[in-house]
Amino acid sequence: MRVEILLREIRKERKMTLDTLSKLTGMSKGHLSRIERKETEPTITSLARIALALNVDITKLYKIIK
pLDDT digits (tens, 9 = 90+) for 29-59: 999 999 999 999 888 899 999 999 999 988 8
pTM: 0.86
Q: Angle CA(60)–CA(52)–CA(44) in degrees, nearest 5?
A: 70
Q: Using CA atoms, how far apart are residues 55 and 37, in angstroms rounded to an integer?
A: 21
Q: What local confidence, expressed as pLDDT, does residue 2 receive?
A: 80
- Exposed (0-12), middle (13-18) or buried (19+): which is 66, by Cβ within 10 Å? exposed
Q: How would CATH label the architecture of 3-65? A: Orthogonal Bundle (1.10)
Non-local (6+) Cβ contacts of 31 within 8 A are 40, 46
